[in-house]
Chains A and B, each alone.
Chain A
């Protein structure tokens, strides 16, 4: 088993979950409470990675991150090196790829908070931030845990996007799923099996935890295949 690849995957998944946690909250808040007419466009955009083949997303990310792409140029201007085939590039692509897995559970749980509680909070003198921190967040804990765990697990298992924007550089972009692919290509079935089994176990544990937590909270887990 390739410990280097596994550690890299874990590091990537942690970074992506953390970024999505920070990024997903305001985005989900806006999607849950905004009454803008064009809100559906952003909803569709956020959900896009659910239906798009990872290679398509990865392809456009690669173009954007390339030396002539806007993201690549910007990155070069700021950090002095390119973005494609680096760990940072992998993180950015993964954040986009796992966005719906963080945002949609958050939106779903924000929306289940009784609006009258928010009105009551406002009437009692609380501004929006206080209402968010004291009312919405505590009542959305299962949704927040679901969002974190799903973005972690989904990033851990991604393959297509990584292959497109990261390539296959040991210790930099060779994640555990790429490693499995490599081993199968070189007919090392035993090695592929060890890594694959570990990934299977981690994924199952994580999903069982999500369903368990939501069951205790008395509601159904949000998962893309049980979405409304």
Chain B
């Protein structure tokens, strides 16, 4: 602990790291992050292979960054320039892995008590009971991890990490594989705990649903870099990267060529790849002739059975229905306009418009539903 230094800073987690990542499937790329995480939930969102888990490993001390500086509550955990690298056991950073890593040979109680070896027996018991109660798993205390359900294991893993009163909590997709009701209930318990212990929580997920459930600050990580930061709406509804767009659920992703910029109107016209389709999208950082990508949500497209008139929407494309597929309360219609668009409509709309394959339809796209995306 000699290496820990005090400095003037708030209760934030300050992370600046650079590390070359040598992926198995991809060429090496640089993880390059500079971010300040305040107390409360911060969601780290991005496609797999973006470096999310490596970033958490760096913060926990399980992986050494090439260069950078990591500080929690003003205590220095890592600084390459000063050759400071506090080992994980002295960082007071708790980490729940995707695999949970419960100790299989220990009871639930022994798992949770593992991080408290220095407390006297009585106090340790009290702390363990208290946290087990908080996560509503007290009756499982003498069971082994393999004897309890997945959701219970996830609660135990959270309890085990929190009982040590860490100053930072790292969660790497701890709730994957649970149904949304169970997920919501565990998130509520976690929120209740966080209300009492105000620490930065970095929550990794690539599930759009979890981002909406947590509804807090989102950091989007793509290919080792932070590409945007803000509320879920700001980050996920206007994705600027192709991979993020795919992860955030943009069903329509087309490449195209910029025709011209109309800066006065704040728009530019893009011709979709090798078609006559021209659409207007919000002005982006591009010049005429540039190859760009445009992302549109299937739910943001209007479908008309007749040529629409008198609309404010600037993009009206004529096409033919290729296929119609019912998915529960959703009808997925694929329309060929030179490129194939995916459109979501309701079953009611399907009946009213008498949609059928081969039928001629018009697609209406608001300019601001068309998102300009970088590769």
Q: Are B87 and A122 interface neighbours, CB within 8 A? A: yes
Q: List 12 A-B contacts (CB under 8 A).
A: A114-B101, A117-B104, A119-B101, A120-B101, A123-B62, A123-B88, A123-B94, A124-B89, A124-B160, A124-B164, A125-B117, A126-B114
> Which of the segments A61-69, A133-141, A145-153 contacts the partner chain?
A133-141
Residue numbers of A with Cβ under 8 A of B are: 114, 116-117, 119-127, 130, 134-135, 138-139
Shortest Cβ gap from B154 to chain A (Å): 14
Q: Are A119 and B99 interface neighbours, CB within 8 A? A: no
Shortest Cβ gap from A226 to chain B (Å): 25
Q: Which residue of B lies closest to A131 (CB)?
A: B89
**Chain A residues, CB < 8 A from B104:** 117, 139
B70 at the binding interface (Cβ < 8 Å): no
Shortest Cβ gap from A33 to chain B (Å): 14
B97 at the binding interface (Cβ < 8 Å): yes
**Chain B residues, CB < 8 A from A123:** 60-62, 88-89, 91, 93-95, 161
Indicate the member of B88, B92, B160 with the most A CB atoms within 10 Å.
Answer: B88
A127 to B160, CA, bound (A): 17
A32 to B182, CA, bound (A): 39
A124 to B105, CA, bound (A): 17
**Chain A residues, CB < 8 A from B161:** 123-124
B284 at the binding interface (Cβ < 8 Å): no
Residue from the list A119, A124, A127, A138 in contact with B115, Cβ < 8 A: A124
A8 to B17, CA, bound (A): 62
- Assuming the A-B contacts A125-B89, A126-B89, A134-B114, are A119 and B103 also in contact, with contact meaning beta carbons closer than 8 angstroms in the complex? no
A116 to B103, CA, bound (A): 10
Apart from the given pairs A117-B103, A123-B93, 7 other A-B contacts in the complex at a CB distance below 8 Å:
A117-B104, A119-B88, A123-B161, A124-B89, A125-B117, A125-B164, A126-B117
Indicate the member of B61, B62, B102 with the most A CB atoms within 10 Å.
Answer: B62
**Chain A residues, CB < 8 A from B114:** 121, 124, 126, 134
A134 to B161, CA, bound (A): 17
A116 to B88, CA, bound (A): 13
- Assuming the A-B contacts A116-B97, A116-B99, A119-B88, are A125 and B105 also in contact, with contact meaning beta carbons closer than 8 angstroms in the complex? no
Q: Which residue of B lies closest to A116 (CB)?
A: B101
**Chain B residues, CB < 8 A from A117:** 101, 103-104
Shortest Cβ gap from A142 to chain B (Å): 12
- Assuming the A-B contacts A122-B89, A125-B164, A126-B89, are A138 and B97 also in contact, with contact meaning beta carbons closer than 8 angstroms in the complex? no
**Chain A residues, CB < 8 A from B105:** 138-139
A69 to B310, CA, bound (A): 104
